[in-house]
Structure 1
Amino acid sequence: MEEPKETSKSALKKAEKQAKMAAAKAEKAAKQAALPVVGGKKGDDSKEVIGITVSKNTNFSQWYQELVLKAELVEYYSEISGFYILRPGAMYVWNVIRAWFQERIEEMGVEETNFPMFLSSKDHVEGFAPELAWVTKAGDKDLEVPVAVRPTSEAVMYPYYAKWIRSHRDLPFRLNQWNSVVRWEAKQTTPFLRAREFLWQEGHTAHLTEELATKEVLEILELYAGVYEQLLAVPVVRGKKTENEKFAGGYWTSTVEGYIPTNGRGIQGATSHCLGQNFSKMFDITVEDPDKKGDKLFVWQNSWGLSTRVIGVMVMLHSDDKGLVLPPRVAKTQVILIPVGLTAKTSAEDRASHAKKVEELYDTLKNAKVRTDVDNREGYTPGFKFADWELKGVPLRIEFGPKDAAKEVVSYARRDTGEKGTIPIAELATKVPELLETIQKALYDKADASFREHRLVLTDWSKVVPALDSRNVVIIPFCEAPACEERIKELTKSEEAQEGPDGQKQPSMGMKSLCIPFDQPEGLVKGETKCLNPECSQFAKSWVMFGRSY
């Protein structure tokens, strides 16, 4: 075997040096993000406290970035900016979503696939050129033809759709893949909301007719609404994007739109696109017309995607100054069981007896299909444990001490409201699941009430900017013209400073269209109601929801 250019000894030194540099970076990042911790181990006289150091209402951006780090959802990847490590807590939420969604699309006949992550330089991805990440070297050799990392997969997949779809009998043709994509954002990156690499699913389907394609677009959109509303307790508005905001190259785009009350911004939740025949004509995906032998039909295509952004929306909406608040249906740990009331004077026999009772409680909850953990850490006060699990968002805390045992009850505290109470041990297997569902519904109801309160239907232009400055989204009569939409964005910029992505104050952005809600308010008369833009002379086509947004 030929001796390598670099000796094993020098390679080892190089590896050690790289490891030390990586460790130094990680240590620096850890120090910057370190949480002062208080009330930890018994006998610790430190004055530090566990938890978030800023308030959600005073510095939302810093609160959010501190929270996702300290609640152990992400870690910053110190080697390259804009990339994040998803920790097990975040991956659990994502995998619950994945399992729920995958089960339902399989029932629709969608099959799972996986395509390569690279695009050749000849492939054109409209709208993504500035964000493409290029690979120009393989080892120490320059590639003759550079390749790009996929920002989405139409250009990778559709040449093979043209190959595989030969007859109308092959339709509908439905594939979905779970993967990561890279979009080299030049803007400020934020965990989950805007990263240079993120996880998502992307479905790509082909149909014989527009009607069949439309039916699927709306079915998928309803599944996306289900992810938000049923799993994450996040209310959304279902609607259609305007021409300005639809997917580039698509026919029309449907969307679910959320709302963050702390800063009054709208946020796009997920999109389901009808691509029409635009891509099938581009990639020559045709079938023989079943009604006209010999004639060719370009298929109707859809694409639809949901990303790990959903986790960020959930975190921003529900969490508070104590830390993360998780809806029970997606919480890795739904109940944390904490033994209390044991002191230095408690005998070994009594400790063992109490530990056995705690184990029985754990078994009862586990058999009731409740995801439960026991905090048996030695040397930490109950107060420390309470704060630690509140930070991590566990929906329900159960405390069990000798006094509880004597009364044959457990004490509980809800993470969402702080409400406390007791549950008879004999009813634990039924009452705890019921309480978890109560928490799930309460989280949704609270968020839904807030969204409805801040979704204002306006017919007076003078009220639009004040409404935006008061952290509302607005629904206004709109002509849907792209040029008018751009002008509205300019007209609604505000002098009032607003927190930017980096936490610094900057002039407030103008509003943009979020969607044309499927659920239209009453009162708009086509051919009579004018577009609300005072500079526009056209009639309104629909009520359109606008807002400042992510």
Structure 2
Amino acid sequence: MSKGLPKRSEDYSLWYNELVKRADLAENSAVRGCMVIKPYGFSIWEKMQAELDRMFKKTGHSNAYFPLFIPKSYLSREASHVEGFAKECAVVTHYRLKADPSGKGVIVDPEAALEEELIVRPTSETVIWSTYKNWIQSYRDLPLLINQWANVVRWEMRTRLFLRTSEFLWQEGHTAHETKKEAEEETIRMMNVYATFAENFMALPVIKGKKSESEKFAGAESTYCIEAMMQDGKALQAGTSHFLGQNFAKAFDVKFATREGGLEYVWGTSWGVSTRLMGALIMAHSDDQGLVLPPKLAPIQVVIIPIFKREDELEAIRAKANEIMESLEDLGISVKFDDRDTHKPGWKFAEYELKGVPLRLGIGPRDLANNTVEMARRDTLSKSVVDLDEHLAATIKETLADIQESIYRKASAFTQEKTTTVDTWEDFVEVLEQKGGFIAAHWDGTAETEERIKEQTKATIRCIPLDQQAEEGSCILTGKPSVGRVLFARAY
């Protein structure tokens, strides 16, 4: 293996970037601002995708696919929506290339200009609602519960692998409803689906809340979110769910015949999570040795490494390893036997630590003689000797479940430790600079104050927690009345 990773405590940003690359998750591409997700990284995303897809379908949603290109005029129909995305849009203006007369490759054919420019999808509300106009005529067509897995483009100047790239992968749900109540319930339901996924599969504790007016999605009536705390004390928005009201239905004239015989605009929602979840997974759990993956999302849950000098020793170990692998696979546990003779066991140990494999089994001739195996946990870096008996598979299954829970408990304790309540501006600034994390503080509810706090400290209102208690107080900056605390943090 190459030299160790940078330490988180010394340079968190460098540690993150190096870990993503060295663990074979992703790399920068030849296209500026875009990334190549490598097979190991993509296999983690596929496990996320599969579980989320199952959860969406269980709540009644179906998958569909809509165009990558959106006519420019569509974005003009909903004023706040276009304003929110205008600076991030990539625009297609021509449809043909031709040979450069100078003989130097190709040039854009000036005679092939599009009649109307096309926007490369930054999000799909406009193109989907233009389609829904043809799909919805009556209350019998509702609710319409659609999700799509896709890529989107939001032109970014400063990029970081998984966290912020010009192109990224995501899912976006778009639903249409008969009543405001149904749409609002859908918005909350999907936020809860995201929270359940984050906590049960990513082992990532999250805060569920509502965005402030200035932080909500462009074109929405209200935005709900899940917020997570990273190890450097910065927050990360891990998922959002938007109540669109009738804004897009009105923009695209999507009406339905009501049960009473009238004609009404439908009510809408949209919601999404992206490959940014990969960044959250890395930053919330990993350490100076490499990735720490929750077993439920690990591509390889158990790796078996033989320790041998002679070929006959390897064959004896392989026979026992095959028995173990078969028993684990019967329990649905993914397992790999690494018998490469090109690397020593110590090198392999370090490699699988770097890649975050939850459980490692080492077997040598002495282990076979003693009918034991050395078991190493990635989360605690602890080792134990376990009997090679008929209960080994069950023991490993229990250990993986304990690792999953242990990773969550550690992240939850960290989030609690990094959540501070303050009542004064001086304390707010001190905690932000010295400790970081979430800060629960009173705010007067105005966009002006929110912007002033952001300008002075780079901290934003991450959310108004859904479990917030009514509590009269004074805004930390202006001293004006406040009805409850909100969560501030610096964020990715």
2:73 counterpart SS class: coil
What letter corresponds to residue 231 of structure 2 in structure 1?
P
Match runs of 1:304-323 below 5 Å: 304-323=271-290
Pair 1:208-2:178 in alignment: yes
The 5 A counterparts of 1:159-238 are 159-186=130-157, 188-238=158-208
Instruction: Return the match for 2:240 from 271, 283, 292.
Output: 271
Give 1:181 shift.
Answer: 0.3
Task: Say which SS state the counterpart of residue 128 (structure 1) adopts.
Answer: helix
Q: Secondary structure at the match of 2:293?
A: coil
SS of equivalent to 1:217 = helix
Shift of 1:313: 0.6
Question: Structure 2: how far apart are the matches of 1:300 and 1:267?
Answer: 29
Alignment-mate amino acid for residue 168 of structure 2: F
Query: Match for 1:130 among 87, 101, 109?
Result: 87
Match of residue 399 from structure 2: 435
Picking from 29, 44, 47, the partner of 1:77 is 29
Which residue matches 2:444?
479
Give the alignment's TM-score, normalised by structure 2.
0.93
Partners in 2 of 1:83 and 1:275 — Cα distance?
Answer: 30
CA distance in 2, matches of 1:476, 1:352: 64
Rounded to whole Å, the distance in 2 between the matches of 1:490 and 1:75 is 33
C-alpha separation in 1, matches of 2:134 and 2:484: 41
**Deviation of residue 350 (structure 1)?**
4.0
Q: Which runs of 5+ in 1 are unaligned?
A: 1-36, 38-48, 494-509
- Alpha-carbon deviations, 1:269-301, whole Å to 9, x = none? 10000001111111111112323x3x3211110
Residue 298 of structure 2 is matched in structure 1 by: 331
Do 2:469 and 2:484's aligned partners in 1 also have CA atoms closer than 8 Å?
no
CA contact (8 A) 2:126 2:248 kept: no
On the 8 A contact 1:479/1:542 being kept in 2, the answer is no
Residues in 1 aligned to 2:350 and 2:95: alpha-carbon distance in whole angstroms: 49
Deviations 1:227-260 (CA, angstroms, capped at 9, x unpaired): 2111111110000000010011110000000111
How many residue pairs are counted as aligned between the two chains? 470
CA distance in 1, matches of 2:335, 2:162: 27
| Structure 1 residue 424 displacement after superposition | 1.7
Pairwise CA RMSD of aligned residues? 1.5
- Does residue 1:424 correspond to 2:387, yes or no? yes
Shift of 1:521: 4.6
Secondary structure at 1:126's aligned position in 2? helix
Deviation of 1:50 (Å):
4.6
Structure 2 gaps, min length 5:
76-81, 98-108
Deviation at 1:108, TM superposition (A): 2.2
Matches within 5 A, 1:494-513: 510-513=458-461
The 5 Å alignment of 1:10-89 reads: 37=1, 49-52=2-5, 54-78=6-30, 80-89=31-40
Distance change (3 Å), C-alpha of 1:414 and 1:185: same
Counterparts of 2:487 and 2:312 in 1: how far apart (Å)? 65
CA distance in 2, matches of 1:290, 1:355: 68
Q: Which one of 40, 55, 58 corresponds to residue 104 of structure 1?
A: 55
Percent of pairs identical after alignment?
Answer: 39
Q: Secondary structure at the match of 2:395?
A: helix
Residue in structure 1 matching 2:353, options 379, 390, 406: 390
C-alpha contact 1:126 1:249 (8 A) present in aligned 2: no
| Distance apart, 1:360 and its partner CA | 1.9
Report the Cα offset of residue 536 of structure 1: 4.4
Q: Please name the residue that 1:545 is paired with.
A: 487
Per-residue Cα deviation, 1:5-46 (whole angstroms, up to 9, x for no partner):
xxxxxxxxxxxxxxxxxxxxxxxxxxxxxxxx4xxxxxxxxx
Kept after mapping to 1: 8 A contact 2:201/2:296: yes
Judged with a 3 Å threshold, the aligned counterparts in structure 2 of structure 1 residues 242 and 349 are, in CA distance, closer, same or farther, namely closer
Alpha-carbon distance in structure 2 between the residues aligned to 1:379 and 1:238: 48
Distance 1:126 1:163 in 2: 26
- Secondary structure of the residue aligned to 1:378 is coil
Distance 2:59 2:198 in 1: 20
Task: Give 1:251's aligned amino acid.
Answer: E
The alpha carbon displacement at 1:353 in A equals 2.4
Q: Specify whether residues 349 and 173 from structure 1 end up closer, same or farther in structure 2 by C-alpha distance, changes over 3 A only.
A: closer
- Partners of 1:445 and 1:156 in 2: CA distance: 42
- Cα gap change, 1:402 to 1:302, in 2 (>3 Å): same
- Structure 2 partner of 1:518: 466
Shift of 1:358: 2.2
* CA offset digits 1:297-320 (Å, max 9, x no partner): 111100000101001011011111
